[in-house]
Structure 1
Amino acid sequence: MFLRLLLIPLMALMATVASSAPVRLLFPDSTFTPGSQFFFSVELPTATNLGSYQIDLLLSGSSGTAGVDYFFDLAGTDAAMTGYVFPSDGQFFDTVNLDSAMSQRLTLSDINFDGMDVNGAGVVSGTNDAIANIVVSTLPTFSGSLMFSVDADALILDTPDLTPTSINEFATIQADTVAVAPQTVTAAAVPEPSGIAMLAVAAVGVLTLRRRRKIAFGESKLR
């Protein structure tokens, strides 16, 4: 009886871990500098017999206009340089569309007719789970926050069969992707001009004090 009570929470924990399999958006930081590019990556969870994918990312802002004040930068966005999901990214495709004045959509897709089970491994986390490195740009005047999410309803993870067939893990991956809340990055605080001026004055004061100390020290040595 005691053993059974001990196993129940352990099994529940294992089920929770096993079912955590969303398409992941990985941000190196939670802030960005207005007017500068910033980056994040897209990764898949473990999967078998993957032959093609389509992943739609959504970008919306707390203010401003999508495609103008903030936007996916296709010039820099490309397939992952290392650990890419397929042996070749020759068929990698990305495109951007506006969903509304506040929302922009980035579609990533690729196909591999051999499928990812040639050696029985499939997609393995940390080995070949990388999809793309995404570049986002904002205007220098944009100071709001940006929200990113995966459109789970548009997600496609198919086998290499001629007839479109979802991979075995698709239902779990889609459900877990739906459960992930939009990820937010915010504009980094920029010091006001008065604050910058005060910092400059303080720096000059420190340098002047150091110079005076050096002169006084030199004169004392001469005596």
Structure 2
Amino acid sequence: MTAKAEEARKRLIVALDVDTAEQAESLARQLSPWAGMFKVGMQLFYSAGPDVVKRLKDQGLKVFLDLKLHDIPNTVAQAARALTGLGADILNVHAAGGLSMMRAAGQAVAERAAQLRIPAPMVIAVTVLTSIDQTVFNREMGQPGEVQERVMAWARLTQEAGLAGVVASPRETGLIREACGPDFAVVTPGIRPAWSLSGDQRRVLSPAEALALGSSYLVVGRPITAAANPEEAARKVLAEMTGGC
């Protein structure tokens, strides 16, 4: 693998949206040469339990724990504290919970990691889900204005709270990068390779387009994991990320 391909591999997160730890471990083993991190979301976490994170970590894999914590500050802080002990590399909250909630989560994670003498996971905040388009945002959610305005407001609030970055559509990556600087992480789901269907995602871009706008990490799920040959699909995503090199 070339240096350029290896750098791209580190930035590719594959979403393990399956029901069992065995399925997740099998996919992760198969795809680890092509992906730098694996996402454990609600489906897998609620089906297989917290131990699935430890099992993946025991394989030497990096894990993004995507549970989108959102509640009152104390509840989220205690949940984040508990999750820190699982050893995930990234975990997230929802920016809609507000400044105090995000600050409480970040502080709880840092304190618990120090107590356990382990590296603290990067804490990031979800902005507007990539399945929400302008019509849904205005008519169904009753939110005024443009989607990107809300994304930007939450990105700035996340940075003010001291968190490391956000989850956002690749369509907002460039604006976030301009507003929050080069060191603020932008994790982008809604990545759809040229050869795949968008499914229930609305605000999508290709891997190459997202990287060009400044995405730190790309999250890809079904285009890889639901493919007839997941390894081949992962290789094709990497090829798009590196311009075919």
* Fold shared per TM-score above 0.5: no
Q: Which is bigger in relative contact order (C-alpha 8 A, separation at least 6)?
A: 1
Tell me the TM-score normalized by structure 2.
0.22
Taking structure 1 as the reference length, the TM-score comes to: 0.24
Compare the two structures and name the one with the higher strand fraction.
1
Q: Which protein has the bigger helix share?
A: 2
Query: Which one has a bigger Cα radius of gyration?
Result: 1
